């Protein structure tokens, strides 16, 4: 059997899916333990937190679709694979990726942004804005028909979106009715009044808003450049979708990579004390005393030298960009693990003196066993909180670092590279604003929902905070 494509597993893909698998496994583990479910129920009951989680979930779907990579077979070439690594998202948004214009064009435009010398049918030449190759190309007379066509498509898209939303509402109502053994009508009433244990109303409302926004985008994007095109004519909407994966990778993998070190060192320092504590404290104070951006800059510069001097390590450009992305995660991790390590050390220091640890020690449990079985599970909430709290900061940091030139590979699509490419164009007359607007608004949606979700998780898991309010 031969597949029409060759699956490619980039390092970041593997780690993302490993993280997903770990999350699913943790979900099953937590389900069977009532005391762990308690905190998650609190998250599920928090309206704002669940709304944010819904938005995050949609981002996650896009990011994961963009992480299924493959190389397609070249036409009539047997087992020769294209050097271009594509993703499932590329395949789904094939027209968006293929419909490349010459240069800038405004959102929903039918003509290019800059004038060119055009040849009329009668042979004379004229300076004018040429028609786009793809955007609104199906209209014979855009001046007259563009607004109507856009409106028609939008209405059609909204109608589909509405039907989709109603279907989801019906499915959720049915599930709630089943679970609580009540009639669907009663379930709907409870959801509407927010009397369900899970904050279904917020989830459904958020989904409704997202569908309301996304449906016209989807309906229009086949025939128009909804967010315009960038300097080399690529569809900005497509670039924004591609950026999501980079942001997710940086936001999650950075913490994930350094997690084992931070947890192990923090617990060791706190529980064992003595010279181990001194050494570990010395290490993180030293690392901490180097200003983060400078350490990142120095490390990225060095990493670039390594990558440039070893081109033979990477089969495709995508693999090299991926290696750089992963290395950036490592470097960001090295500068950010110290905070978590210090928190865990403090917590382990406190736990060490508690009765149940004393009892375990009296029963002769080895230090390793105590740290693994008794201390680690009791500091997991701190790990979880810092994982979600760090996410938004890292996404923002990526944009800044890419601007400074020490971020992701220039070929990797990310919010940072998009902003960097477009920032000078506001000075043009008229200004080219759409790339920036698209990147900033998607980034805001992602970071804002991550912040809100993180707050919700922290409130649910931090016992200290709960005692106070």
Give min distance, CB of 296 to other proteins, in A. 10
The span of 4-12, 209-217, 233-241, 442-450 binding other proteins (CB under 8 A) equals: 442-450
* 298 touching other proteins, by CB under 8 A: yes
Cα separation, 309 vs 307, whole angstroms: 5
Cα separation, 451 vs 457, whole angstroms: 10
Q: Which residue's structure tokens are 């001097």?
A: 309
* 455 touching other proteins, by CB under 8 A: yes
* Contacting other proteins within 356-415 (CB under 8 A): 392, 396, 399-400, 403-406, 415
The span of 58-66, 212-220, 301-309, 343-351 binding other proteins (CB under 8 A) equals: 301-309
Cα separation, 128 vs 111, whole angstroms: 9
Give min distance, CB of 80 to other proteins, in A. 28
Give min distance, CB of 446 to other proteins, in A. 9
Q: Which residues contact 447 (CB under 8 A, 6 or more apart)?
A: 392, 395, 396
Give min distance, CB of 327 to other proteins, in A. 12
Q: Which residues contact 324 (CB under 8 A, 6 or more apart)?
A: 303, 304, 307, 408, 409, 412
* 312 touching other proteins, by CB under 8 A: no
Residues constituting the chain: 469
**Structure tokens given for 303:** 């990493």
Q: Which residue's structure tokens are 């991926």?
A: 322
* 291 touching other proteins, by CB under 8 A: yes
Which of 286, 358, 366, 411 binds other proteins (CB under 8 A)? It is 286
Cis peptide before 430 (omega within 30 of 0): yes
Q: What are phi and psi of 111, to 5 degrees?
A: -125, 160
Give min distance, CB of 278 to other proteins, in A. 11
Cα separation, 452 vs 450, whole angstroms: 6
**Using alpha carbons only, how large is the chain's radius of gyration in Å?**
26
* 290 touching other proteins, by CB under 8 A: yes
Between 74 and 301, CB nearer to other proteins:
301
Between 157 and 333, CB nearer to other proteins:
333
Give Cα separations from 29 to 19, 26, 35, 37 (angstroms): 15, 5, 11, 10
Give min distance, CB of 234 to other proteins, in A. 20
Binding mask 416-435 for other proteins (x = CB under 8 A): ---x---x--xx---x----
- Does residue 86 contact residue 70 with C-beta atoms inside 8 Å? yes
Cα separation, 66 vs 92, whole angstroms: 10
* 232 touching other proteins, by CB under 8 A: no
Which of 163, 294, 315, 359 binds other proteins (CB under 8 A)? It is 294
* Cα 89 to chain centroid, rounded: 14
The span of 1-9, 145-153, 382-390, 450-458 binding other proteins (CB under 8 A) equals: 450-458
Q: Which residues bind other proteins (CB under 8 A)?
A: 282-283, 285-291, 293-295, 297-299, 301-302, 304-306, 308-309, 392, 396, 399-400, 403-406, 415, 419, 423, 426-427, 431, 436, 440, 443-444, 447-448, 451-452, 455, 468
């Amino acid at each position: 059997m031969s597949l029409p494509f060759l699956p490619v597993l980039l390092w970041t893909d593997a780690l993302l899916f490993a993280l997903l698998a770990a999350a699913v496994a943790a979900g099953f583990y937590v389900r069977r333990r009532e005391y762990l479910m308690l905190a998650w129920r609190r998250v599920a009951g928090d309206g704002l937190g669940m709304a944010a989680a819904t938005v995050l979930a949609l981002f996650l779907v896009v990011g994961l679709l963009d992480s299924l990579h493959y190389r397609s077979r070249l036409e009539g070439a047997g087992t020769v694979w294209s050097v271009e690594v594509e993703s499932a998202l590329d395949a789904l948004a094939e027209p968006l990726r293929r419909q490349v214009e010459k240069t800038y064009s405004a959102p929903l435009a039918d003509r290019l942004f800059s004038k060119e010398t055009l040849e009329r049918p009668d042979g004379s030449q004229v300076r004018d804005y040429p028609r786009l190759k793809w955007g609104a190309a199906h209209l014979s007379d855009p001046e007259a028909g563009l607004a109507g066509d856009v409106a028609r498509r939008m209405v059609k898209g909204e109608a589909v979106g509405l039907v989709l939303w109603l279907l989801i509402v019906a499915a959720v109502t049915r599930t709630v009715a089943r679970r609580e053994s009540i009639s669907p009508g009663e379930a709907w009433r409870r959801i509407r009044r927010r009397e369900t244990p899970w904050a279904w109303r917020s989830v459904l409302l958020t989904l409704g808003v997202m569908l309301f926004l996304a449906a016209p985008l989807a309906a229009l994007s086949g025939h128009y450049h909804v967010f315009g095109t960038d300097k080399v004519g690529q569809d900005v909407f497509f670039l924004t979708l591609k950026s999501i994966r980079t942001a997710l990778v940086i936001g999650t993998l950075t913490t994930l990579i350094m997690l084992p070190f931070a947890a192990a060192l923090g617990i060791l320092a706190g529980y064992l004390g003595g010279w181990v504590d001194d050494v570990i404290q010395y290490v993180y104070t030293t690392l901490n005393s180097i200003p983060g951006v400078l350490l990142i800059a120095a490390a990225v510069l060095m990493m670039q030298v390594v990558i440039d001097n070893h081109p033979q390590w990477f089969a495709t450009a995508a693999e090299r960009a991926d290696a750089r992305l992963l290395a950036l995660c490592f470097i960001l991790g090295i500068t950010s693990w110290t905070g978590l390590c210090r928190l865990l050390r403090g917590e382990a220091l406190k736990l060490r003196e508690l009765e149940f640890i004393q009892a375990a020690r009296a029963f002769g449990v080895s230090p390793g066993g105590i740290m693994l079985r008794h201390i680690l599970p009791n500091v997991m909430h701190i790990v979880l909180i810092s994982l979600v709290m760090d996410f938004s900061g890292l996404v923002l940091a990526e944009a800044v670092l890419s601007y400074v030139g020490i971020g992701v590979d220039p070929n990797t699509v990310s919010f940072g590279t998009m902003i960097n490419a477009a920032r000078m164009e506001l000075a043009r007359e008229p200004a080219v604003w759409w790339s920036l607007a698209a990147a900033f608004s998607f980034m805001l949606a992602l970071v804002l929902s991550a912040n809100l979700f993180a707050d919700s998780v922290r409130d649910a898991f931090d016992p200290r905070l709960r005692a106070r309010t």
